[in-house]
Amino acid sequence: MTDREISSTRLPLVQRPRRNRKSDWSRRLVRETTLDASDLIWPIFVIEGEGRREPVSSMPGVFRQSIDLAAQAVAEAAALGVPAVALFPNTDPRLRDETASVALDPNNLVCRACRAIKETAPDIGVITDVALDPYTSHGHDGLLSGDEILNDETVAVLAAQAVTQARAGADIIAPSDMMDGRVGAIRSALDAEGFQNVQIMSYAAKYASAFYGPFRDAIGTNKTLRGDKRAYQMDPANTDEALREVALDLEQGADMVMVKPGMPYLDIVHRIAETFHTPTFAYQVSGEYAMIMAAGQNGWLDEERAMMESLLAFKRAGAAGVLTYFAPRAAELLRDAK
């Protein structure tokens, strides 16, 4: 085209949004949402033994680790700026029973891991999962009578479990069971034992999702779970119900709330953050992680870009932070980008 032809095609625009996107420095200058290592919580899986590191086959790059290796890995994550880790045990099947008795053992895998991590990396927060599924022979989050999950009886055990974990040094108790009334019972039990400063991060909106499969593989409940969890986890079709659940948990003493899974439920994250203006977290669950890793390893997408874009999406939706298996890797990339 000639100069005259080019000139004649120019549009008489006053507003040209692309001006702000023309260069890297300009894009950074007008960026609305940022991601930092402080936004990341790292879920880790612990197993018995010493010097043990087992790959989780359905989660490339994720391992079950013995307590000594887990404590070392947590210290490395802390050095990258990751502020907290969440502990999940793969309990020896021989210790699992109908009543989840090992959940109340002060020397169980989680309690020992908690003490070791606090000794090795005292400045990182330790979040412990309060639920019975890693300890029950039937794989459910609560006590079972026939086919019924017993709510009130389960809550009594959960409150005792929370106190046991607090005594081991847990900074944040995270009930993931979805029993009615458990946050209030846990808060009362913690306060009665002098743990007023131990925080509660409630899995307030936890859905009965298909995205949990690799996690159940990692903690060893895929083979033990009888039936499904739809009688207590939320229906994926519901949004207003999530707001009711959050309201109840906040009234009962939750300091923070969580949405699980993450990316398929960004609308839930946004509604909760906008409605309650309380610290709202999202869990980028095992199935989400596995999809990104599998697609990246097959060359179907840029793995690192997809990872960072997915984490930024949580912040854009209103999440205060994200539980993600990508945490150390993302923190390292964020550090190197500075």
Q: pLDDT tens digit string along 138-195?
A: 989 999 999 899 999 999 999 999 999 999 999 999 999 999 999 999 999 999 999 9
Provide the pLDDT for residue 226: 78
What's the burial of 283, exposed, middle or buried (CB within 10 Å: 0-12/13-18/19+)?
Answer: buried
Report d(CA 222, CA 121) in Å as an integer: 32
Beta-carbon contacts of residue 321 (< 8 Å; ≥ 6 apart): 38, 39, 40, 41, 279, 281, 282
Provide the pLDDT for residue 7: 65
pLDDT averaged over every residue in the chain: 95
Task: List Cα–Cα distances, 301 to 294, 298, 306, in angstroms.
Answer: 9, 8, 7
Beta-carbon contacts of residue 303 (< 8 Å; ≥ 6 apart): 292, 293, 295, 296, 297
Q: Which two tokens stand for residue 301?
A: 């997408």
Q: Given a cut of 90, is residue 225 above it in pLDDT?
A: no
Provide the pLDDT for residue 220: 85
- CA 310 to chain centroid: 14
Beta-carbon contacts of residue 90 (< 8 Å; ≥ 6 apart): 45, 46, 47, 64, 109, 134, 218, 219, 220
Provide the pLDDT for residue 228: 87
Q: Given a cut of 80, is residue 6 above it in pLDDT?
A: no
Provide the pLDDT for residue 5: 63
Query: pLDDT by residue (tens digit) across 17-45?
Result: 999 999 999 999 999 999 999 999 999 99
Residue type, 269: V
pLDDT band at 9 (very low <50, low <70, confident <90, very high): confident
| Rounded mean pLDDT, 39-56 | 97
Report d(CA 200, CA 205) in Å as an integer: 14
Provide the pLDDT for residue 224: 76
Q: Given a cut of 80, is residue 81 above it in pLDDT?
A: yes
Q: Given a cut of 70, is residue 3 above it in pLDDT?
A: no
Provide the pLDDT for residue 10: 85
Q: Given a cut of 80, is residue 301 above it in pLDDT?
A: yes
The pTM (predicted TM-score) of the whole model is 0.95
Provide the pLDDT for residue 293: 98
| Rounded mean pLDDT, 253-280 | 98
Q: Which residues are catalytic?
A: 206, 260
Report d(CA 326, CA 305) in Å as an integer: 12
Provide the pLDDT for residue 4: 65
Task: List Cα–Cα distances, 237 to 10, 108, 153, in angstroms.
Answer: 48, 37, 28
| Rounded mean pLDDT, 105-127 | 98
**Helix residue ranges, H only, 34-88:** 67-79
The neighbour count for residue 325, using CB atoms within 10 Å, is 27
Contact assessment for residue 177 and residue 156, using Cβ atoms and an 8 Å cutoff: no
Report d(CA 261, CA 317) in Å as an integer: 14
| Rounded mean pLDDT, 197-210 | 98
Q: What is the 3-state secondary structure (H, E, C) of 1-23?
A: CCHHHHHHCCCCCCCCHHHHHCC
Provide the pLDDT for residue 1: 58
Report d(CA 200, CA 162) in Å as an integer: 10
